């Protein structure tokens, strides 16, 4: 079983719609969760971190964490073509900040 699982996509949504990206993790001891966006040929850039159960909002982005279900998601409201990228979920158990990355979900936002 992989540490972190994501649907590879592609997930296609029309411009202006809500994009919902999901991630599950296997280790109940995981405590820190991150979403990164990666454009083709570029490096990952942080979208959001979340540490506690519930929702965390930042602009058009909302991260949701449910530790009981071992599930973390990212919602993108009012999706724009510029949001088209691969979204990486990363999970840490606190062992020297070692991140376990999911395989990423490719998002396509159609104009």
Binding stretches for other proteins (CB under 8 A)? 31-32, 34, 36, 41-46, 49, 51, 88, 90, 92-99, 101-104
Please identify, using beta-carbon distances, which residue of 43 and 82 lies nearer to other proteins: 43
Please identify, using beta-carbon distances, which residue of 30 and 73 lies nearer to other proteins: 30
Q: What is the 3-state secondary structure (H, E, C) of the chain?
A: CCCEEECCCCEEEECCCCEEEEEEECCCCCCEEEEEEECCCCCCEEEEEECCCEEEEECCEEEEEECCCCEEEEEECCCCHHHCEEEEEEEECCCCCCEEECCCEEEEEEC
Q: How far is the CB of 13 from other proteins (least distance, A)?
A: 21
Q: How far is the CB of 3 from other proteins (least distance, A)?
A: 11
């Amino acid at each position: 079983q992989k540490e972190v699982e994501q649907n590879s996509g592609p997930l296609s949504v029309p411009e202006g719609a809500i994009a919902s990206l999901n991630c599950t993790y296997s280790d109940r001891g995981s405590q820190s969760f991150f979403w990164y966006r990666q454009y083709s040929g570029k490096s990952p850039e942080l979208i959001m971190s979340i540490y506690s159960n519930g929702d965390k909002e930042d602009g058009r982005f909302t991260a949701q964490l449910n530790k009981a279900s071992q599930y973390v998601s990212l919602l993108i409201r009012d999706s724009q073509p510029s949001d088209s990228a691969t979204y990486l979920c990363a999970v840490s158990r606190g062992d020297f900040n070692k991140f376990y990355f999911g395989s990423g979900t490719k998002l396509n936002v159609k104009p």
